[in-house]
């Protein structure tokens, strides 16, 4: 199928911390029979984007050369390789913005999110999706249902992350879960937990407006921690929700040391703790409680097989409402302003329209 010739490939490039520029990048072209060329419609701003913007890195990943930011995107198929059979020009898709080697032990075991050679958008040295056009393999493009908007499609990436987290937490119908942090990821964890059948969903945050929104969105209870010991906050939380023996699972979506410490005291004996939020590399951790309660502690990194597809299905079936999280949409030329607003903690989820997307602002 012939590739479309029109459209800008203007890109939002991070030069170094707090230094960005708009540059016209070379337009990507189809290289393999399974490639899909996508025009980017909308891109959300993730916490990892902010880490790169402010600090030039996150964890083991650091900026070594200028890099295009962004990875939470939706787009429209422009053209496809000769072997692509599930997509055609004009299809609206959600982008799973990283693809693995498909050959290593992790990939062959079905854990491709742990592939050491993952090519993930906006993770050095791979450029991201805040650009006009992007190439992905066919099997990492997910066609959106007709009634799901492209704006909603941009939230499939954070939703896929939270599907993976809730799977890691092993949530079953009727169970209880506490989610530390009521930002976009925490809120989506609550929504997915509800879709999985959790009957008690507790949102924990220090910002009253976040807790108010969480209660109206997916939480059955909210809790605002005090500046006291982790054990005291845990006892108060469990007393408030009427589960003194603890909850089935806790997901930390904050990365904050006090939240992590409290989490271990909130989980019941034999329960599950999932670390999803990224914070300091090393913290003080209540290891004795972890051991004596036989808590199963897990990390959660990106998304694995089936997570993205389930995310699309949850939205398509009306089981998770991502539209309510979108608090603003800005033109591509206002991308830096959008990053500054997210940095300042304004709104829940800000979307940036692609450089060829026409929006009313």
Predicted local distance difference test score (pLDDT) of residue 129 = 98
Q: What is the mean pLDDT of residues 253-268?
A: 97
Predicted local distance difference test score (pLDDT) of residue 60 = 86
Per-residue burial over 129-160, b if 16 or more Cβ lie within 10 Å, else e, is bbbbbbbbbbebbbbbeeebbbbbbbbbbbbb
Other CB atoms within a 10 A radius of the CB of residue 346 amount to 12
Phi, psi of 292 (to 5 degrees): -70, -25
Question: CA quadruple 202, 204, 209, 213: dihedral positive or negative?
Answer: negative
Strand order in the sheet with 247-252: 221-223, 200-204, 176-180, 247-252, 267-275, 296-299
Pairing of strands 349-353, 35-44: antiparallel
pLDDT tens-digit readout, 207-237 = 999 999 999 999 999 999 999 999 999 999 9
The band of 6, judged by pLDDT with boundaries at 50, 70 and 90, is confident
Alpha-carbon gap, residue 246 to 281, rounded angstroms: 27
The band of 66, judged by pLDDT with boundaries at 50, 70 and 90, is very high
Q: What is the mean pLDDT of residues 153-167?
A: 98
CA angle 241, 242, 244 (to 5 degrees): 110
pLDDT tens-digit readout, 75-109 = 999 999 999 999 999 999 999 999 999 999 999 99
pTM assigned to the model = 0.96
Predicted local distance difference test score (pLDDT) of residue 14 = 98
Alpha-carbon gap, residue 307 to 161, rounded angstroms: 8
The band of 1, judged by pLDDT with boundaries at 50, 70 and 90, is very low
Residue 285 has pLDDT above 70, yes or no: yes
Percent of the chain with pLDDT over 70: 98
Question: CA quadruple 314, 319, 323, 326: dihedral positive or negative?
Answer: negative
Q: What is the largest CA-CA distance in the chain?
A: 64
Residue 174 has pLDDT above 60, yes or no: yes
Alpha-carbon gap, residue 20 to 11, rounded angstroms: 10
Alpha-carbon gap, residue 35 to 81, rounded angstroms: 5
pLDDT tens-digit readout, 124-139 = 999 999 999 999 999 9
CA atoms within a 13 Å half-sphere pointing along the CA-CB vector of 300: 30
**Among 51-60, 90-99, 161-170, 213-222, where is mean pLDDT lowest?**
51-60
Alpha-carbon gap, residue 178 to 129, rounded angstroms: 33
Residue 59 has pLDDT above 90, yes or no: no
The band of 360, judged by pLDDT with boundaries at 50, 70 and 90, is low
CA angle 234, 206, 243 (to 5 degrees): 25
pLDDT tens-digit readout, 310-347 = 999 999 999 999 999 999 999 999 999 999 999 999 99
Residue 33 has pLDDT above 70, yes or no: yes
The full 3-state SS of the chain, as one line of letters, equals CCCCCCCCCEEEEEEECCEEEEEECCCCCCCCCCEEEEEEEEEECCHHHHHHHHHCEECCEECCCCEECCCEEEEEEEEECCCCCCCCCCCEEEECCEECCCCCHHHHCCCHHHCCCCEECCECCECCCCCCEEEEEHHHEEECCCCCCHHHHCCHHHHHHHHHHHHHCCCCCCCEEEEECCCHHHHHHHHHHHHCCCCEEEEECCCHHHHHHHHHHCCCEEECCCCCCHHHHHHHHHHHHCCCCCEEEEEECCCCHHHHHHHHHHEEEEEEEEECCCCCCCCCCCHHHHHHCCCEEEECCCCCCCHHHHHHHHHHCCCCCCHHHEEEEECHHHHHHHHHHHHCCCCCEEEEECCCCCCCC
Residue 291 has pLDDT above 90, yes or no: yes
User: What is the average pLDDT score of the chain?
Assistant: 96
Percent of the chain with pLDDT over 90: 95
Q: Are residues 185 and 205 in contact, defined by beta-carbon separation less than 8 angstroms?
A: no
Predicted local distance difference test score (pLDDT) of residue 358 = 83
Predicted local distance difference test score (pLDDT) of residue 324 = 98
Q: What is the mean pLDDT of residues 44-58?
A: 94
Q: What is the mean pLDDT of residues 56-65?
A: 92
């Amino acid at each position: 199928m012939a590739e479309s010739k029109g459209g800008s490939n203007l890109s939002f490039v991070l030069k170094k911390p707090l230094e960005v520029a708009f540059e016209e990048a070379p337009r990507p072209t189809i290289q393999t029979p399974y490639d899909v060329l996508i025009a980017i419609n909308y891109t959300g701003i993730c916490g990892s984007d902010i880490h790169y913007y402010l600090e030039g890195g996150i964890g083991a990943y650091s900026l070594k050369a200028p890099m295009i930011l962004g990875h939470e995107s939706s787009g429209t198929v422009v053209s496809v390789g000769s072997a692509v059979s599930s997509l055609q020009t004009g299809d609206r898709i959600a982008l799973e913005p990283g693809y693995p080697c498909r050959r290593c032990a992790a990939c062959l075991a079905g854990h491709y999110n742990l592939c050491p050679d993952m090519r993930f958008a906006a993770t050095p040295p791979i450029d991201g999706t805040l650009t006009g056009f992007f190439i992905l393999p066919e099997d990492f493009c997910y066609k959106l249902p007709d009634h799901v908007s492209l704006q909603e499609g941009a939230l499939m990436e954070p939703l896929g992350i939270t599907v993976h987290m809730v799977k890691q937490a092993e949530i079953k119908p009727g169970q209880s879960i506490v989610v530390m942090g009521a930002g976009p990821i925490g809120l989506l964890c609550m929504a997915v937990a509800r879709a999985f059948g959790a009957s008690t969903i507790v949102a924990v945050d220090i910002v009253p407006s976040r807790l108010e929104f969480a209660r109206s969105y997916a939480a059955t209870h909210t809790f605002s921690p005090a500046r006291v010991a982790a054990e005291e906050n845990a006892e108060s939380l469990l007393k408030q929700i009427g589960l003194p023996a603890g909850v089935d699972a806790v997901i930390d979506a904050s990365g904050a040391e006090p939240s992590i410490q409290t989490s271990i005291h909130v989980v019941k004996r034999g329960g599950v703790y999932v670390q999803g939020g990224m914070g300091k590399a090393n913290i003080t951790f209540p290891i004795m409680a972890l051991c004596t309660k036989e808590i199963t502690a897990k990390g959660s990194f990106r998304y694995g097989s089936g997570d993205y597809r389930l995310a699309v299905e949850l939205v398509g079936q009306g089981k998770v409402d991502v539209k309510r999280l979108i608090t603003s949409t800005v033109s591509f030329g206002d991308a830096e302003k959008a990053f500054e607003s997210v940095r300042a903690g304004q709104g829940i989820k800000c979307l940036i329209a692609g450089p060829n997307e026409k929006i009313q602002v």
